[in-house]
Structure 1
Amino acid sequence: MKLIIVSGLSGSGKSVALHTLEDLGYYCIDNLPLFLLTELATVIAQLEDPVYDQTAVGIDARNKPENLATLTRIIDEARALGLECRVAFLDAQTDTLITRFSETRRKHPLTNADRSLREAIVLERQYLEPILRGATWHIDTTHTNVHELRDLIREQVAGESSPRTSILLQSFGYKYGAPHDVDFVFDVRCLPNPHWEPELRRLTGLNPAVAAFLDGHPEVTRMRDDILAFFDRWIPEFETDGRSYLTIAIGCTGGQHRSVYLAEALRNHFEAGGHKVMVRHRELP
């Protein structure tokens, strides 16, 4: 069982780190009162519930300073329970943090009528010093944007710079209307239509006879290869940008033959590349 504690300066990217861990399958809890961490670790160790096999907890300066000083002891106790416990500490230069708060108009948790933003950041560093000393990873986000921070977290936790995008392929018939809420739509009505072959009309693009018919036309192969070449070129860019899901719709006249065949061809290609793929043939029963 893994327990990751995410801490650091306000404005340094802790929320981004927790969201990234959530995308990696971690059960995430933000702003947990530190005095509850021991109880949480004990419950996780005893439950042996797969849901909590990977848990991440956000700890910040809203905890009392005397509680923050106990974190090292709490981590030792968690490890004694059999948890693999690591600490990610996010930091940034003070001027950068001030700029970020100014741009977002957020209120620093330690500012008040008698304490300026700069003074609050200095005080926060003092409060979090015990956590920094025991951190497994110290990540400086001064010159890091959101996407770069996500990659840093993935590299540290999962050993990968970007996750594979999950792909939803949908075939459809234009005669019934184009689908909504898709990222890409390809119109393949220009391809030879098996509907006009009497022996193929009642079949679908899932049938080997229909596939053989379409395979026999070079324009079908060119269309398939052009679509695949486009996505082979651009999916890595979507993944670098943190895109988790991509929906691709392929339409022919009735949604029975050409669109179904090409959706299945794309499925085979993407699955061979390590993507999680779902296929929906909207017009098939």
Structure 2
Amino acid sequence: MNKPANPSPALTVSIESFSYRKGLPAPPTEHGGGFVFDCRCVPNPGREERFKALTGQNQAVADYLRERSEASAFELHCFALIEQAVSSYLERGFNSLEVAFGCTGGQHRSVYFAEKLAAKLQSVKNVTVKLSHRDMPR
């Protein structure tokens, strides 16, 4: 992702995973800018017994999803759109962006993509990342 030419105020990107069974995340309190991505178009590792007790933070689940072309395509397209928004928000001096990933149970796919995006954005200058998993089992 290209860095903006001029230093800009910090942008906080709040990333949340959630379960559609428990409803959409609450709207942001700021200007309302952001995205909600539906991960249910990606194969569900939770349908396989070996993954049921795991989450998108576990390496076995990450490996399963990384091997699926649907997951790679989903990541490519979602992250490109988010990167475009981050660059624009930084250039325009916006201070917050909300990104949410939802799946059926809020445990596997949404957690995986939220974690991947958070890791990717950690290195972007003037961006602070806040990551939360609303419905992931504790």
Query: Which bracket does the TM-score occupy, shorter chain normalised?
Result: 0.7 to 0.9
Any idea what the Cα deviations from partners look like across 1:88-121, whole Å, max 9, x if unmatched? xxxxxxxxxxxxxxxxxxxxxxxxxxxxxxxxxx
Q: Kindly tell me: are residues 164 and 227 of structure 1, through their superposed partners in 2, closer, same or farther at Cα, counting changes over 3 Å?
A: farther
Distance in 2, matches of 1:175 and 1:195, equals: 14
Aligned to 2:58: 207
Cα separation, 2, equivalents of 1:231 and 1:250: 12
Query: 2:114 aligns to what?
Result: 263
Q: Are residue 219 (structure 1) and residue 70 (structure 2) matched?
A: yes
Q: Shift in Å at residue 272 of structure 1?
A: 2.1
Aligned partner of residue 251 in structure 1, secondary structure: strand
Secondary structure in structure 1 of the residue aligned to 2:94: coil
- Taking only aligned residues, the RMSD between alpha carbons, in angstroms, comes to 1.5
The yes-or-no answer on 1:229 pairing with 2:80 is yes
**SS of 1:178's equivalent?**
coil
Report how far residue 200 of structure 1 moved.
0.4
Shift of 1:190: 1.0
Gaps of 5+ in 1: 1-159
Q: CA deviation at 1:199?
A: 0.5
The answer as to 2:68 corresponding to 1:241 is no
Larger radius of gyration: 1
Residue 214 of structure 1, CA deviation: 0.4
Alpha-carbon distance in 1 for matches of 2:7, 2:46: 46
Q: Deviation at 1:163?
A: 2.3
Answering whether residue 42 of structure 2 is matched by residue 191 of structure 1, we say: yes
CA deviation after TM superposition for structure 1 residue 172, in Å:
0.0
Q: Which region of structure 1 is more displaced relative to structure 2, 163-172 or 201-210?
A: 163-172
Is the aligned partner of 1:281 residue 2:133? yes
Alpha-carbon shift at residue 181 of structure 1 (Å): 1.3
1:165 aligned onto 2:8: no
Aligned to 1:137: none
Measured in 2, the distance between the counterparts of 1:266 and 1:226 equals 12
Partner of residue 24, structure 2: 178
In the TM superposition, 1:100-115 aligns within 5 A as: none
Query: How far apart in 1 are the matches of 2:105 and 2:39?
Result: 11
Aligned-pair distance for 1:245? 1.1
**What is the letter of the counterpart of residue 19 of structure 2?**
G
Deviation at 1:237, TM superposition (A): 1.3
Shift of 1:184: 1.3
Structural mapping, 1:27-46, within 5 Å: none
Verify: 1:251 aligned to 2:97, yes or no. Answer: no
CA distance in 2, matches of 1:227, 1:163: 24
Map Cα deviations across residues 243-263 of structure 1 (whole Å, 9 max, x no partner): 111111110001000000000
| Bigger RCO (CA 8 Å, 6+ sep) | 2
State the distance in 1 between where 2:92 and 2:113 align. 27
Q: What is the CA-CA distance between 1:282 and the residue it aligns to?
A: 0.4
Q: Unmatched 5+ residue regions in structure 2?
A: 1-5, 29-33
Residues in 2 aligned to 1:256 and 1:231: alpha-carbon distance in whole angstroms:
22
Shift of 1:236: 1.7
